[in-house]
Amino acid sequence: MSESTLAEPAAPTTLLETGGLSVRYGGVSANSDIDISVAAGEIVGLIGPNGAGKTTFVDAVTGFTKSTGTVSLRGERLDKASPHRRRRAGMARTWQAGELFTDLTVAQNLAVAVQSVGLRAMLADVVNGSRPPADVISAALELVGLDDAADQLPGELTLGHQKLVGVARALVGGTQLVLLDEPAAGLDTHESRDFGIELRRIAATGIGILLIDHDMSLVLDVCDRLYVLDFGRVIASGPPAAIQDDPAVISAYLGSPEVDPDTERPTADGPTGHAPKETP
Ligand SMILES: Nc1ncnc2c1ncn2[C@@H]1O[C@H](COP(=O)(O)OP(=O)(O)OP(=O)(O)O)[C@@H](O)[C@H]1O
Ligand SMILES: [Mg+2]
């Protein structure tokens, strides 16, 4: 290593790193050779048309579908690990269209997630007296700014806050990297902006976020970097401003955007690429 390299400021800690990650479903290459990284404190966007392979990537990283290639968290190889072990190692996900349990309180919704982190680890914490479950739950709620909502039912919260409870559920138990699959779906422009502000606050604590969303305003506003997937491949990556002007991205995903006159950006339902967004 040269002296000049040593003199450079330390690079942010890489949390997630995938190498050549590939998933095949029968004849379909749902993910091909994907190299993506997410650093601590960074929000990285993953965008692309319907069917591009975004959810498949989250499934592969978190161990819910079979893949080839490598997945590392803080340098620890996890690609052979079970979803459960990856969760305990510090990576968590939300599910596309993941719903809250409407008859459980916010705290109870998070308690369900505590079990998935690992009962053994939790029991050890309780026995040590260091992290009783209530603390683990309130720490996660605090991260999304909803510590006051623990005893409320989801239906008593705004939709934006309900979405944040979904994120908090993934943050339970010392999550370092969270993969959010369309967490803001259904939010209006205003709610989506507030949601984005919370995501930035969460990232500022050092948590790495991979954000999948079709809401281009949200993605362009909050992400430090973006990757664009098309037919299972990364076709572009870089800062939002560069991605927005990339001809390959425009043709695959952004299409001839319907431009929001206020933001001069493509609207949430602007993508007119080969597979326009369908609202479920
Ligand atoms: N379990 C599965 N079995 C077979 N094929 C699948 C499976 N899951 C996804 N696919 C296929 O893999 C490809 C990628 O799908 P994926 O759900 O990852 O896309 P996506 O980018 O998340 O799309 P969307 O924006 O609609 O959520 C699609 O062709 C899809 O039909
Ligand atoms: Mg998806």
Q: Can you give the pLDDT at residue 8?
A: 63
The 3-state DSSP class for residue 215 equals: coil
Band of pLDDT at residue 136, cut at 50, 70 and 90: confident
- Dump pLDDT digits (tens) for 231-252: 999 999 999 999 988 888 888 7
pLDDT band at 30 (very low <50, low <70, confident <90, very high): very high
Q: How far is CA 212 from CA 5, 43, 96, 162, 218, in A?
A: 34, 10, 9, 18, 10
Range of the domain at 136: 99-174
Query: Percent of the chain having pLDDT more than 70?
Result: 80
231 and 192 both lie in a single domain: yes
**pLDDT, mean of residues 250-260:** 65
What is the Cα 8 distance to its own chain's centre? 30
Q: Is the pLDDT of residue 4 over 60?
A: no
Provide the Cα torsion 236, 238, 244, 247; round to 10°: -30
Q: Determine the pLDDT at residue 238.
A: 95
30 lines ligand 1 (CB under 6 A): yes
CA angle, 170 as apex, 271 and 200 as ends, to 5°? 60
pLDDT on residue 118: 58
My answer on whether 155 and 184 are in the same domain is no
More confident residue, 198 or 252: 198
Question: In the structure encoding, which two tokens stand for residue 250, read together?
Answer: 């425009």
Task: Flag whether 7 is in a domain.
Answer: no
| Beta-bridge partners for 236 | 228
* pLDDT single digits (tens) 82-129: 999 999 999 999 988 778 999 999 999 998 877 666 555 555 555 555
| Pair (50, 137) in one structural domain | no
Is 52 near ligand 1, meaning CB less than 6 Å away? yes
Q: How far is CA 175 from CA 70, 92, 122, 159, 169, in A?
A: 20, 6, 14, 24, 10
CA of 215 to the centre of ligand 1 (A): 19
Residue 227 DSSP label:
E
Give the type of residue at 196.
G
Report the pLDDT value the prediction gives residue 135, as an integer from 0 to 100: 82
Atom of ligand 1 nearest to the CA of 182: 27
- Which residue has its alpha carbon closest to ligand 1 atom 28? 51
Q: Is 54 close to ligand 1, i.e. is its CB under 6 Å away?
A: yes
Identify the nearest ligand to the CA of 53 by its number. 1
In a domain, 163, yes or no: yes
Furthest-apart CA atoms within the chain: distance in Å: 60
C-beta of 55 in contact with ligand 1 (< 6 A): yes
Of 21, 51, 45, the C-alpha closest to 227 is 45
Give the number of domains in the chain: 2
Residue 215 has pLDDT above 60, yes or no: yes
Whether 1 is in a domain gets the answer no
Residues 122, 144 share a domain: yes
For residue 65, the CA-to-ligand 1 centroid distance in Å is 11
Task: Identify whether residues 104 and 159 lie together within a single domain.
Answer: yes
Region 193-200: what's the mean pLDDT? Answer: 96
Which pLDDT value is given to residue 73?
A: 97
Selected residue with higher pLDDT from 117 and 59? 59
233 belongs to a structural domain: yes
Q: Please give the Cα distance from 250 to 219 (Å, whole number).
A: 15
**What is the mean pLDDT of the segment spanning 222-237?**
96
Closest to 53 in 3D by CA, of 207, 262, 252: 252
Is 67's C-beta closer than 6 angstroms to any atom of ligand 1? Answer: no
Q: Using a 6 Å cutoff on CB, does residue 53 contact ligand 1?
A: yes
